[in-house]
Every structure is written in C-alpha cells, then in structure tokens.
Structure 1
Amino acid sequence: MTVTDSTTLPRSRTVLANQAWEAALTAHAVLMRRFAAEDVWHGLSMREYDVLYTLSKCDGPQRLSDLGRHVLLSQPALSRLVERLVERNLLARCADPADARAAHISLTTAGRALQREIGLTHGEAVAHSMTAALTDDELRLLEALSTKLAQEAS
C-alpha cells in the first residue's frame, strides 16, 4: 500500500485548474484575433459591437451600470464608448423615469440594423471556427462547462 502525501492531490488539482484556465484564455485570445481581423465590423471596434450585441439581447433600455455587468469595460471606458455610439446615432439615451440622475441606453433603428448585419456575418465566422475544431458533443460540453463556471462566479 502506498501512502500519499495529503498535499499532492490539492496541488495537482491546482496545477490542472491553472492549465485549464490558461488553455481557455489562449483559445479566447487566438479566436478573438482571428475575428478582429475579419472585414465585417463596418468601422466598429469589437468592443463597440459588443455593446450593440448586448443591448440587442435586452427587452428594453438599460442603465449604463446594467450594461457594464455584461461587457468587459470599466465604467469610464464604457461611458466614453456609449457616447461615441450615441454620436454615431447607433445608440439613444433617455432619462430613467425612476431616477432623474440616471439615463437609459437603447439601440436606435440604425444601431439595431447594423448589429444584425454584423451579427449574421460574425456569427457565421464563429460557427465556422468552433465547428472546425469541435464535435457537436464537444460544443455542448463546452457550453455546459462555460455556463457552469459563469454561474459559480456570479
């Protein structure tokens, strides 16, 4: 019978977790570079598109703070980005009826149309990249694991 040091299992699990995390980040970085290089963005940055996409999934106008929970930008950076999109008539700002100090952000008709146009092409590129590398079962597993991690972190 072999005696196992009690620190071996946690340490090896820590290494495994960090290797999995690094692999996920590397895959994300590689795919994001590939997607950024595509000629589908119509003059938008991927972060600007991310804001349009996030708003397209919402039932109605969103507060900046709510939007900030779904995009990976600091509050000041998100405020500046939203202002640029308002100036380009892709987003609209309106007063929050429940709080005069706050504003709601929503897609304009032009913003919704541009998001759909970019989204169709970008969605095809994402599907091509993902299905070229993964089977349907692997895609389902990746979705389930990613969802589980996101739920655990929130």
Structure 2
Amino acid sequence: MARTAPSRPAPAGRPAPLAALAVTAAGTAWLGAVDPAGSGLFPPCPVPRLTGLLCPGCGGLRAVHALAGGEFGVALGANALVVLGAAALAVLWLAWWLRPQRPPRVRAWHAGAVLAVAVGFTVVRNLPFGAALSP
C-alpha cells in the first residue's frame, strides 16, 4: 500500500488580511477623529498616577491620533515605540497580503524580543537623558 502525502489545506485567499486591515483602519479612523487628549473618553493611565513613571504605552493613543492625521513628528514625540510598532505591523501585514497562504509566523523569541524592547524603552524614557522619549 503506497503512502500518500498529507493533504494541505487550501489557500485561505485574502479575506483574513482584508478583514484585519478593515478593523485596523476603522479603529484608526475613529481614533483619528477623536482627540484622546481632550475628548474625555479615555481614562488617564493609572501607571504614572500610581508610580510616577511612564509606561511603554503612555502617549500611545495620542501617537495613533497624530499618525491618522499625518503628523509623524508629533506621533514620534508622543510615543516612538508605538510608531515603530505600527511600522513593523504594516510590514508584517504586507507580507501576509503578498503570501496569504503562508502568513508570517510568530515565534517564541519574538515575544521575548518585544518584551525586551518595551522594558528598555520604558527604562530609558524614565531616565533624565531619555526625556525626549516622554510624551
């Protein structure tokens, strides 16, 4: 009896990347229309209130608001890590779009690398020489 190769699932096509893009675009458009700094819709971040330190996400909503308005310098000033993360996600999405049958794989070390960058960013932005990274 001859062995047959295991069947591969059919390529998913592009509905998943398009759905991810639509959800991201809708959220970004809404955040672009609503100013997080002055709308009163968003509660203040509890980390600086409780610790006096800036977390890696502080200024993230303002950064996305500025990106949606095309203000890249303002976005970088609000949270450079969010801007770089958005650029990385855009590159990953493009790879997913170009090869939907083989989406980019997330490996265990990726989570460790993201955590290390976030911790490093947090430490630097809370030191006197990292004041430029503060929102």
TM-score (norm 1): 0.27
Q: Which has the higher contact order (CA 8 A, sep 6+)?
A: 2
Higher Rg of the two aligned structures: 1
Which has more strand, going by share of residues? 1
